[in-house]
Amino acid sequence: MRGGLRLRTALAAIAIVVMAPVACVRVNVHGDPPAPSTHTGSRTLRLATYNTSLYSDTAGGLVARLEHGDPDARRIAAVLQRVRPDVVLLNEFDFDDAHRAADLFQQRYLGVAQAGGGDALAYPHRYLAPVNTGEPSGLDLDRNGEVGGDGRGRGNDAWGFGLHPGQYGMLLLSRFPIDEARVRTFRKLAWSAMPGARQPRDPATGQPWYPAEVWSRLRLSSKSHWDVPVRTPAGTLHVLAAHPTPPVFDGPENRNGARNADEIRLWREYIGGDAPWLCDDAGTCGGLATDARFVILGDYNNDPVDGDGDHAAIVELLEHPRVLRMATPRSEGAEEAAARYPDVARRGAPAQATGDYGPRVGTLRLDYVLPSVGLAVTGSGVFWPRSNAPGAELVGASDHRLVWVDLAGGAP
């Protein structure tokens, strides 16, 4: 999430989530993670999520940036070259139909050793697809009396806020093959299809914020929700990727806060297995198989205890019976950054933050790598060195930081 957040009073009933460390887990807090270990013919599988802020307010703007040599893209690539994840989700990476931005980033940035980074990095497999951001809905979603318009008015009436189709998109990169025939996307799923959906209401009247004809068509996902099966050496791993809307930039009806919570809930329902209402864009209904292994990746715009949003939504995902209890990724840079904002009240552990949102908001934990039960975590961390450590010059390319988790059983 970019820009400021309004701070709402945190729910007193929600306790601080303390993830119990598992035995023999390496937690990295010093910036660079150790290289994935190799032993007895196998290595760890490193999974990561990174909100890269590689977007533009104009259609084709990211392509133009990457064609002319973008310093922030170089720093993002350098971080990836240092951490070297096997599978990584990039949030806020603009989508274009020709996939030109993805080609440029992979070829001219990841494929070239960057200053402050490491060796060139290649991902032979990737997944990207259209998102709801910037796609005109044809509806007056912000209730300003007109449909579409210019600037923010146009963005507010898109299926997901965006100034052009594809803004704030997603890009999944993988060293291992992707089973594209089994990919499921939920971009067009109606919010109203979710049982008990948090339909926003006008607090002045108690009536639904959206008229019935709008509510019945409004999509739940602000970008998209993807289930991307990746064929790793340890078996198929379902990468569950999403980027829910920030729970701000709305009014007292809290329509974005409600949407954020239900976008997060979608994954809770999906991994629960039995969800006949949960129909993907190809018309297949139901949740994830109960024996499938998965990892949830992305910027979920929700901290377990601090900042804005319904914290219970992310806490319930963290505590889902199918989500592995593990040590929360940490960094020394997050602790240092939090100390710069003594006037921002915080209840969460400063070292667990994954982004710096300025003096009004401070630091928050918004980005997650959540493996399923049955996987063995061997290490985790956030790439956020202290200001005097190597690599510190790279992190300012985005207001978010890369989060990584190592699993046992990767390729040699």
Does the predicted TM-score (pTM) go above 0.85? yes
Mean pLDDT of all residues in the chain?
Answer: 91
Distance CA 179, CA 176 (A): 10
Give φ, ψ of 407 to 5 degrees: -115, 145
What confidence category does residue 13 fall into, taking pLDDT thresholds of 50, 70 and 90? very low
Lookup result for tokens 């209730």: 143
Query: Does an H or E element contain 212, and which?
Result: helix 212-215
- Which among 1, 100, 10, 96 has a CA at the least distance from the CA of 53? 1
Q: Percent helix, strand and coil across the chain, each rounded to 5?
A: 20, 25, 55
Q: What is the pLDDT of residue 2?
A: 43
What confidence category does residue 36 fall into, taking pLDDT thresholds of 50, 70 and 90? low
Q: What is the pLDDT of residue 43?
A: 77
Least confident of 22-31, 144-153, 195-204: 22-31
More confident residue, 198 or 25: 198
Architecture of domain 46-131+166-325+383-394: 4-Layer Sandwich (3.60)
Question: What is the tens place of the pLDDT at every residue in 138-178?
Answer: 999 998 888 978 888 889 999 999 999 999 999 999 999 99
Question: What is the tens place of the pLDDT at every residue in 102-120?
Answer: 999 999 999 999 999 999 9
Distance CA 25, CA 408 (A): 11
Neighbour-count burial of 202, counting CB atoms closer than 10 A to its CB (0-12 exposed, 13-18 middle, 19+ buried): middle
Q: How much is the average pLDDT of 12-37?
A: 49
Distance CA 312, CA 155 (A): 28
Distance CA 179, CA 193 (A): 27
What confidence category does residue 11 fall into, taking pLDDT thresholds of 50, 70 and 90? very low
